[in-house]
Amino acid sequence: MAWKPPALMAKMPALRGKISDRALLRAVHYFDENERVIAMIEALRSRNVEAYFEGMIASGRSSYCYLQNVYTTKNVAEQGLSLALCITERFMSGKKGAFRVHGGGFAGTIQAYIAKEDVEIYP
C-alpha cells in the first residue's frame, strides 16, 4: 500500500499552520478510509460479516472524528445525526450489527444493520 500513516504523522508539525488542522484530520480519515475499504472488501469476499461490521463502525467513527461530517459548525445546537449515532451505539452495545453516518454528512442519515429480532425495539 502507498499510504503509510507514520509518514503523515511525522510531517504533521511542519504542516500545521500551512494547512488547517481540519484539513489534516480529513487527510488522516481519507488515507485510513482507503485502507479500511480494502479490508472491508476482503471481509465481504471471505464472508466475514463480523470483520465487515468492525470496519464499518471504525469508518463511521473516523467520519465523525476526523472527516467531521456529522454536524455543521454553523449550528452546533442542531446535532440530530450525532444524537442518532449516540442512541444507536448505546442500543447496539453487546448486540451483533453495525452503524455509521451515511450519505451526505450534514444532510445525511445513519446506516444501521440491526438483528431482525431487535428491529421492533430499536429506538
3-state SS class at 11: helix
Cβ atoms 100, 89 nearer than 8 A? no
The pLDDT tens digits of the residues spanning 25-35 come to 999 999 899 99
Q: What is the pLDDT of residue 4?
A: 61
Are the beta carbons of 34 and 3 closer than 8 angstroms?
A: yes
Q: Which domains does the chain show, CATH number per domain?
A: 5-121 (3.30.70.890)
The per-residue pLDDT for 103 is 74
Q: What is the mean pLDDT of the chain?
A: 90
Please give the backbone phi and psi of residue 18, each rounded to the nearest 5 degrees, phi first: -90, -35
- pLDDT grade for 106, boundaries at 50, 70 and 90: low
